[in-house]
Amino acid sequence: MTTSEQDTSVIVRWLFPSIKDILFLAFLLVPLVTRQSGVLYDGDTGWHIRNGEQIAATKSVPRTDDFSYTHRGAPWYAWEWLADLTLAEIHRQAGLNGIVVWANLTFALTFTLMFRAMLRRNGNIFVCLLFTALAGFASAVHWLARPHLFTLLLMLIWSLLVERIQERGLGTGSWSSLAWVLPPCALAWANLHGGFVVGIILLMIHAIGNFLSSLTETEKALRKRCRWLAGRFTFIALLCLLVTLINPYGYELHLHILDSYVHSQYLVDRITEFASPNFHTVVVRFFEVILLCTIVLLGVSYRRLSFIESGLLIFWTHMALFSVRHVPLYTLIVVPLVVNHLCHYLEQVQTDQKFQGWIGQLVGQFSRYSNSMSRFENQFKGLLYPVGVGALLLFVCLNRGFLGGAQVLDARFDEEQFPVKAAKFIEAENLRGNLFTTDYWGGYFIYRFYPRHRVFFDGRSDMYGRDFIKEYQTLTNLEHSWKDVLIKYKISWIVLPVNYGLATALKERDDWRIIYDDHQSIIFTRLGEFSSAVAPGQ
């Protein structure tokens, strides 16, 4: 090969987009181009931004609530403080455009890295690509601009590190230096999101799995290595747990998480995102496909599951079936396991005497073509297009969504999901007194009106507690004492979806009047003792 040909070959390797590039750009750009991104479909994004702004302004982490009038001054564990600070800085520099691009970039990076890791381990590019797409679509059920996106990325990195440590320990009987990366990761994770708990659980699953393997392995050297790994994983799990105590709230954060989400099932049973998956919805059906593929594959696989694989599969299947918010984490852990067994199965089918006919030939041709494509894919460096597009999006966000004089990005809270038009009315009117709105809209109102208006309730259910949530449900469900709640909290004006039962009930009462109705949201003000002032003419 001539020097010119070599130079051309190097240029092509850098310029030709790899499948990894295309996958990353698809996750990143398709929701933006089609304007179908749902990352701002959760009002909690709003209070995360405002909390981060408060942290930056006061240079301190909040310990009491200031966003609601019902719990102002009450203890609050803002355990996602570092993520909130990050979101606030992104918002300060680039507004909601920056928040949406950050969410899509994090999601795209997470699942592209998963694809890359599976491809390097298994080599069958079509299987890896198919299951990455399924995992991405299934995880869209919780694709929201909130701190849990940090947990998705960290969980993937964490599991890849643990996998490398396990392979090194079994293969050479030595402890990988990668293990010492885990405690710093745990420190950052504990201050970004409460999902750090699952990282500790992952380490303990490996510790228990290795211990059980040490009891059943027939080879003496392997039994010794498994027992040694069990001890090492236990040690590093305890070390990481200790490191997570380095947070603004210390051990009280861990006790609060246990009390709110483990000891008491009340919150978990009543928070929508903790509900079990609804298999009648389109996006959950991708999770169902993965689940069914897993069941079928386990039935036909030539290789039995290890204790570690069994532990991961049992734990994450339980978590995903228990709560839809765990489906993305399920895909990150279970999909690589499924792909690994499926690729091994396809290799064995080619040599199995039972499949020497057309099935074996078809599988052989598929595997050879896939391997050829994998070798072709590995020639390309990648990165150029993701980095280039990422830089372009960064420029557009910093330029308030404009590119060449045209506005190409204009991220907003969806008018069909939130009372955007009603909020414009509220801004123009002199409404005073205590506001009531739904918890789903509470975070949006914090974003739009804090500190001018404080909310009755929002998505921080763990702070409000069981008794208060019962009062909220008494009001929204129109239970016998619902009017007493209005009086107790001196509620002066109410913003509701027009189809809410409470809205219908208020229309029938003489002490409340409608001052705004856009057929999506409706605003009531109270006449009498706690009534709010409204601009003349309303």
Regarding beta strands 434-436 and 491-497, do their DSSP bridges make them parallel or antiparallel, or are they unpaired?
parallel
- What is the rounded distance in angstroms from the CA atom of residue 42 to the CA atom of residue 321? 22
pLDDT at 354: 74
Determine if the pTM surpasses 0.95. no
* Cα–Cα distance list, 462 to 292, 368, 528 (Å): 34, 53, 34
Q: Are 387 and 381 in contact (CB under 8 A)?
A: no
For residue 193, what are its two tokens?
A: 């999101």
Contact by Cβ (8 Å): 290, 137 = no
Question: pLDDT by residue (tens digit) across 452-470?
Answer: 999 999 999 989 988 999 9
Write out the two tokens for 217.
């392995």
3-state secondary structure 68-124: ECCCCCCECCCCCHHHHHHHHHHHHHHHHHHHHHHHHHHHHHHHHHHHHHHHHHHCC
Stated as kind and residue range, the H or E segment containing 497 is strand 491-497
Torsion of CA 122, 126, 128, 130, to 10 degrees: -160
pLDDT at 5: 43
**For the chain, what are the domain ranges?**
16-384, 420-526
Counting as low any pLDDT under 50, the low residues of the chain are 4-8, 529-538
Output the CA–CA distances (angstroms, integers) from residue 53 to 46, 100, 504, 506, in the order listed: 11, 18, 37, 36
Joined tokens for residue 90:
């992104």
Q: Are strands 434-436 and 406-407 parallel, antiparallel or unpaired?
A: unpaired
Determine if residue 250 is left, alpha or beta; phi over 0 gives left, psi from -120 to 50 gives alpha, anything else beta: left
pLDDT at residue number 212: 96
Rounded to whole angstroms, the Cα distance separating 416 from 435 reads: 21
pLDDT for 36 equals: 67
For residue 193, give Cα distances in angstroms to 83, 84, 89, 199, 526: 7, 10, 17, 12, 40
CB atoms within 10 A of CB 520: 16
**356: amino acid identity, one letter:** Q
Tens of pLDDT, residue by residue over 211-223, are 999 999 888 888 9
Q: Which two tokens stand for residue 495?
A: 């913003």
